[in-house]
Structure 1
Amino acid sequence: MKKYVQLFGNLLVYFGVYTAVSLIHNLVIVPMFPAYNDILWRNVPVWITINFAITAALLLGFIGIKKAVRKDGRTDNVIAMSRFANLSRENWIALTILGLAIGIFYLSILKLSFVASAFPGFEEYVTLFMRSDSFVLTFLALVVIGPLFEEVLFRGVIFNLLRRTLPIWATFLAQAVLYAYAQPNPSVQAIAFFLAIIYSFVYLRTGSIWSTIWVSAVMNAFIFTTKQFGLHEVFGDFRDATLFFSALLSLFFMVYTVYVIWRGHGAMRYNVMVGNLVLWVFLYFIIYIPSLLLWNNQLLSIKSIEPFLRENNVLGFVIYDLIALAVYYIVMRALHKESLIKVSNFSAISVKSGVLIGLLGIAMGVWVQSFFKIPYIAEAFPQFEGLFSYLTTATFVILVIFLLIHSVYKEVFFRALVYNVLRTEMNMTLSILMCGVIYGGLFFNWDIPMTVYALAGALIFSAMFEWYRSIWAPIINEFLLFFTYYWFRKLDIPYGTLLIVLLVVSSVAIIGLVAYLYRHRERGTGASTDEAKKSRGRAAEQKAAVSMEMGG
C-alpha cells in the first residue's frame, strides 16, 4: 500500500505544479504585462512551451531539494531516469518515418468533413495552437523546447514512476490518460491518448527518451510547416474518401513502424523499403504533372491535330508511360546500379501458361463489363462508366498501341517497383493490399469503389507475378483484360438473360483458371525470388549488429 501512496503523492505533486504554473502564469502574470500578453497570443506555441518549461524547472528544483534533504541516494535523477541513451542510425530514420506518418494521420483526420462537423473545436484548437507571428520562435518552441520538456515529464518521469509500481499494461494506460488530461481540448485529448500509447511502446523498446522527443518534434514540425505553407488548405480540398485512405495508409505505417522498432531488427530494411516507395511515388508525380500540362496546354492547343488527339485521348497516357519508363530506367541504374529490365524480370513463360493467363484476362474483362451493366450497379457507381469510356475511346490501332505500352508501364511500376519493394519487408498478403491501396491512390484518388476495383486487380496481377516470376504474366493478363473491355463495349450487349449468363460463366471461368494457374505455377528464379533471398540474407547479417546498436 505504501508504494501506491507514494506514487499517488508524486503524481499529485507533479500535476499540482503543472496546474498551478498554468493558472498563475496564464491568469495572473500574463494579464499584468500587456506587451508580453500580446506576444504570447500571437505565438501560442511559445505560451504553452513556457508553461512546460516553468513546470519542468520547478520539478527539477523540487527533486533536487528532495535529494539534498534525503541524502540516501534513493531520490531520482531526472536525466538518469529519462535515459538520454544513444540511438542507432536505423532507429533515427524509422522514428522520422513514424513522426511523419503521425503528422499525415493527424492532418487527414482533422480535415474529414464528419470530424470537422462533429468536433469543431479540433480544428479551432489546431489553428490557435499553430498561430505564429515569429516562424523561428514558434518553430523552436514546437520542435525543440516543447517536445523536450513534455517527453521528459510524461515519459521520462511519469512513465517510469508508474512502471515501478504498476503492471506494464496499466502503466501504458495510466500515463496515456494523464497525458491526454494535460491537453486543453477534448478533441485533442483522444489523439493524445492514442499518441501516448505509441510513444510508450517506442520509449520502452528503444530505452531512450530521445526516441519520443524526436517523433514529437518531427510530427510538430510537419504540422506546423504545412500550416505555414498552406498545405492544410490543400488537404481541406481533398474528398473524404481521399482523406480516409490517407489516414488509413498513415495509420498502417505508424503501426508497422512501431512493430519494426519493437521487433528489434530489420529497421534498415524497413527504412530502405519506405525510402524506395517514396522515391517511386515521388517520381510518378513529378513526371505525371508536367506530362498532363504538356498534353492539356500544349498538344491540345495545336489546331491541326486537336481532333485526332481528342478522338484518341489515351495517347496522353502513351506519352507519359514512355517518359516514365525512361526515367525509371535511368534512376534504377543511377541509384541501385541495376537494370530495370532485370528487376522487372522479362523472363519467358510457357505458351500454355501464357494462353491460360490470357484467357483469365478475357474472363475478367467479361465479368467486369457484365457486372457494371447491371442497372443498380451502373446507377450506384457511375464513375466506372467514365473510366471504361475513357480507356476505350480510340481507333483500333491507337488502342492496341496504348494497351501494349500502358500494360507494360503499369506492371513495371506496380509490380517490378512498388510490389517488389514492399516484398523486401512485408509478406505477400500485406504487399498486395498495400500495392492495391497505392494503385487506388495514384490512379483513382482513393475513390472507395474504384480502390476496391484496384485491390481486386492488384490481387490477380500480383499473384501472376508471384506464381510465374515473370512480368510477362501480369502484362498478358492486363492487356487482354482491357482489350476485352474494348470489344465488349463495341458489342453493347443490353442487360438481360445473356448478360447474366456471361456473368455466371465468367465467374466460374475466373475461379477455375485461378485455381489451375496456382496449382501449375512455374517456379522460376526471377528477380523477385533473388531479391527475397538477398533480403533474407541481409536480415540474418544485420540482426545481431542492429540489435547491439539498439538503445534498449
Structure 2
Amino acid sequence: MERILIVTNSQKIKKHKKTALYVLLIYILMQISGRWLLLPFHMFIQKITGLSPEQAAPITQGWYIALSFAIALILSLILTSRDKDFWNVYQGKKETIPLTIVWGIVGFFLVFFGQMIGAVIEMTLFGVEGGSQNTADIVALAKGAPIAIVAIVVFGPILEEFVFRRVIFGSLVQTTNFWIAAIVSAIFFALIHFDFSHILLYTICGLIFAFLYHKTKRIWTSIIAHIMLNGFVTLVQFYAEPLQKFLEELEKMQ
C-alpha cells in the first residue's frame, strides 16, 4: 500500500512538472512569436483596412497583443485543467473565497504603496525619474486598438500569475523556502517587462504578489491584485492628459 502511494505521488509530481514546463513554454513562445508573425499580421491589417503602414502599426500591435495573450491563456487553461492537482501547491486549508477577494483588494494597495516606496528609492539612490516607458508604450497601443486593454488588464495579469507565481514561485517554494522562491520569481517577473530602469518597482510587485499567493494559498488572490493594478495604471495613463488640462484650467480660473 505504501509503495503504491509513493509511486502515485511520484507520478503526480512528474505530471505537475510537465504541466509547469508546458505553461512556461507557451508563455515564452507568445513573447517571441512577434518576431515571425507580427509582420505578416501587419500586412494583413493594412490590406483589410487600406491604411498606411504608419497608421496600421498601432492597430496591428494592439490586436496582436490581445490575440497572442488570449491564445496563450486559453492553452494554459486547457493544460492546467487536465492536471487537477496542479494548483495544490500548499498543504492545509486554503483561504475562504470572501477573504481571498479581500486579500486581493488589500494586495492592490500593498503593491501601490510598495511601488511608491520603490520610486522614492530609485529617484533618491539612482536618479531614476518616475513613469514607466514600457507601460506608456503599451497604453499607446491600446489607444490605437482598444481591444488591447482586455489583454493589458485581464489576460496579461492572469497569464503572468500562472507563469511567475504558480510555475516559477510555486515550483521553487516546494523545494526551497518562501524568500528564495519569491525573490527568484520576482526577478524573472521584473526582467520580462524589459524596463530595466524600473526593475526595482517590478521586483517589489513580484514579491508582494508572491506573498499574497503564499498567504491565502490561492492564485486568485494575486490575480485580483494584479488585475486591479493594471486596470488602475491603464486608467491613469488614458486620462492623465485630460486631467492635466482640467487642472490647468482650474488654476487659470483662480
Distance verdict in 2 for CA 1:41–1:104, change over 3 Å: farther
Partner of 2:72: 55
Identity of aligned pairs, percent? 17
- Give runs of aligned pairs for residues 343-422 of structure 1, distance below 5 A: none
1:212 aligns with 2:222: yes
Q: Distance in 1 between matches of 2:229 and 2:108?
A: 5
Partner of 2:155: 145
Answer whether contact 2:66 2:148 (CA < 8 A) is retained: no
1:174 aligns with 2:176: no
Answer whether contact 2:19 2:80 (CA < 8 A) is retained: no
Which among 160, 164, 179 is matched to residue 154 of structure 1? 164
Question: What's the RMSD between the two structures over aligned residues?
Answer: 4.5
1:227 aligns with 2:237: yes
Partner of 1:41: 58
Partner of 1:541: none
Alpha-carbon deviation of 1:215? 0.7
Answer whether contact 1:151 1:209 (CA < 8 A) is retained: yes
Q: Deviations over 1:461-513 (max 9, x none)?
A: xxxxxxxxxxxxxxxxxxxxxxxxxxxxxxxxxxxxxxxxxxxxxxxxxxxxx
**Which structure 1 segments of 5+ residues have no match?**
68-74, 238-289, 291-295, 298-552
Q: Distance in 1 between matches of 2:225 and 2:173?
A: 22
Q: Distance in 2 between matches of 1:163 and 1:46?
A: 36
Alpha-carbon deviation of 1:57? 3.9
Q: Which amino acid aligns with 1:148?
A: I
Q: How many residues align?
A: 224
Alpha-carbon deviation of 1:27? 1.2
Alpha-carbon deviation of 1:12? 6.0
Structure with the greater alpha carbon radius of gyration: 1
Partner of 1:20: 29
1:96 aligns with 2:113: no
**Which structure 2 segments of 5+ residues have no match?**
1-9, 47-54
Partner of 1:130: 139
Q: Distance in 2 between matches of 1:175 and 1:156?
A: 10
Alpha-carbon deviation of 1:216? 0.8
Partner of 1:194: 204
Q: Deviations over 1:2-50 (max 9, x none)?
A: 9xxx7998766554443233222x1111100225487673486764454
Answer whether contact 1:122 1:185 (CA < 8 A) is retained: no
Alpha-carbon deviation of 1:214? 1.0
Q: Which amino acid aligns with 2:153?
A: V
Alpha-carbon deviation of 1:206? 1.4
Partner of 1:348: none
- Give runs of aligned pairs for residues 285-364 of structure 1, distance below 5 A: none
Answer whether contact 2:20 2:167 (CA < 8 A) is retained: no
Per the alignment, in what secondary structure is the counterpart of residue 97 of structure 2? coil
Q: Deviations over 1:267-302 (max 9, x none)?
A: xxxxxxxxxxxxxxxxxxxxxxx9xxxxx96xxxxx
Q: Distance in 2 between matches of 1:188 and 1:44?
A: 23
Distance verdict in 2 for CA 1:109–1:171, change over 3 Å: closer
Q: Distance in 2 between matches of 1:193 and 1:113?
A: 12
Per the alignment, in what secondary structure is the counterpart of residue 54 of structure 1? helix
Q: Which gives a bigger RCO, structure 1 or 2 (Cα 8 Å, sep 6+)? A: 2
Per the alignment, in what secondary structure is the counterpart of residue 130 of structure 1? helix
Taking structure 1 as the reference length, what is the TM-score of the superposition? 0.33
Distance verdict in 2 for CA 1:135–1:109, change over 3 Å: farther
Answer whether contact 1:17 1:55 (CA < 8 A) is retained: yes
Per the alignment, in what secondary structure is the counterpart of residue 147 of structure 2? helix
Distance verdict in 2 for CA 1:187–1:166, change over 3 Å: same
Which among 31, 35, 38 is matched to residue 30 of structure 1? 38
Taking structure 2 as the reference length, what is the TM-score of the superposition? 0.65
Q: Which amino acid aligns with 2:164?
A: F
Alpha-carbon deviation of 1:165? 2.0
Distance verdict in 2 for CA 1:84–1:173, change over 3 Å: same
